[in-house]
Amino acid sequence: MKLNTAALRYLTSEDWRVLAAVEQGSKNHEVVPTPLITQIAGLRGGSGVHKCISSLAKVGLIAKVKNAKWISSDDGYRLTYGGLDYLALNTHRRSNTLYSLGNQIGVGKESDIYITASSTGRQQVLKLHRLGRISFRSVKANRDYLRNRSTGSWLYLSRLAAQKEFAVMKVLWREGFAVPEPIAWSRHTVVMEFVDAFPLRMVESVPVDKVGGLYAELMDVIVRLAQRGLIHGDFNEFNILIKEEEQPSTASTSSTNDSASATPNTNITLRPILIDFPQTISTSHANAAMYFDRDVACIKRYFERRFKYTSDEEGPFFRDAVKGYEKLTREERLDVEVEASGFSRKMGRELERFVEPKLPGGNEHGRGEEGDGGEDSEDEEDEVEEVDTGLREDGEQAEDPQVDDPKLAEEVGGLSLGGGDDLAVKPVGAADFGLMPIELDHDPDVVSEKVHAKKKAAGWAI
């Protein structure tokens, strides 16, 4: 769903009131009936409301739903992502946060990224969260998403994700972490500082003398976040920007007349900047250690694969990173402050339950999935059953309680397999058990079509 602002300048004040009325009604209604839109908008005359509804529906800001069984009227309307985009852009415009909207610079499974500018000409980034577009469709189908509610949920969760990201970025920026400066938040959008840098995944090579320093700095960021009570949850090459900064230095060279002259040299340093925070969790989370270790392993694996760099030191480890957390005051714990900044614990539970921290294989930039990993892989490892070898700890054969006749068991155990050292097990097929394929008198597809026709005639076929 691409952001199209062509109709933004042509919307009247009545159109904005009707669009806001649909958003207000969507909080309690999956499909907002037309009489309710008229009541919330508060416009004089029903014809004016219907005209605004028609104009908004033509440009795709609202969608009409006919003959919905859960509304008493004949039809109703629901808010689309396009309508939510317009409402958020209008809020930023009225607050003088955005002045112009540029090209799209990033697209992924969960968000769209646009370049924007303020009234002073400062370049900014507009991030629009779009949960439910691709990556979370199976989540909605397989989980009890919003319990008794089923629609409007993606818009609601996109709003929660944007609110959480803005709250986390705000406290991290204040504490001096390398993150883009957060500027504003409205609905499912976040406006932040534009950073002229490249994602780590686009960096082909790093000088040999700088690889170790970059690796150590990334691990230090993970540890520093954990020391303050936060875990990123998706710390990988797609969510790390590498910015080249020039640090001028002077090298003195002596001339023939012993006069020193200073020649400037440029020393380029690589500065990592962290982005994408909707999946950030607290160190008090039940699976905090697993997510911490996964972030560390993701960086180690990428540096080994891309830069052929392997650290000699193990870790860092979660238990070492959170040792001093209990000694911090309430003001120094960033996870507590994020909760106090407006993103409540209830909101965090709803977002965390249905949109868990993403696995290393997918993110908003649209990378391919590298496997399930995470909790699923650990659950599979826990399900591996121990094989009973029949040996006691002293190495002797344990007695089988299911053997009724010990002498018969001893005679059977002494029988030779007749194959020497070749103990290969022959594969057993279906024919060994007398299982033969069933020959049908009719084509299965023909029989299926006849059965479906009978069901359709009976009136209960799907």
Task: Compute CA 370 distance to the chain's CA centroid, rounded to the nearest angstrom.
Answer: 14
Residue type, 425: V
Total residues belonging to the chain: 462
Task: Compute CA 376 distance to the chain's CA centroid, rounded to the nearest angstrom.
Answer: 16
The active-site residue out of 15, 234, 276, 335 is 234
Q: Let me know if 85 is a catalytic residue.
A: no
Of 193, 187, 48, 199, give the one whose Cα is nearest residue 129.
Answer: 187
CA 225, CA 405: separation in Å to the nearest integer?
Answer: 65
Q: Are 309 and 215 contacting, i.e. CB atoms less than 8 angstroms apart?
A: yes
CA 108, CA 111: separation in Å to the nearest integer?
Answer: 6
Exposed / middle / buried, residue 117 (Cβ in 10 Å: 0-12, 13-18, 19+): middle
The strand pairing partners of 269, in sequence order, are: 245
Of 137, 84, 90, give the one whose Cα is nearest residue 112.
Answer: 84
Q: Are 262 and 200 contacting, i.e. CB atoms less than 8 angstroms apart?
A: no
Exposed / middle / buried, residue 119 (Cβ in 10 Å: 0-12, 13-18, 19+): exposed
Quick check: helix, strand or coil at residue 20? helix
For tokens 């957060």, name the residue: 182
Other beta carbons within 10 angstroms of residue 345's beta carbon come to 11
CA quadruple 237, 240, 241, 247: dihedral sign: negative
CA 442, CA 447: separation in Å to the nearest integer?
Answer: 7
For tokens 């090579």, name the residue: 205
Task: Compute CA 425 distance to the chain's CA centroid, rounded to the nearest angstrom.
Answer: 47
Q: Are 184 and 92 contacting, i.e. CB atoms less than 8 angstroms apart?
A: yes
The strand pairing partners of 262, in sequence order, are: 252
Quick check: helix, strand or coil at residue 138? helix
Catalytic positions, please?
Answer: 234
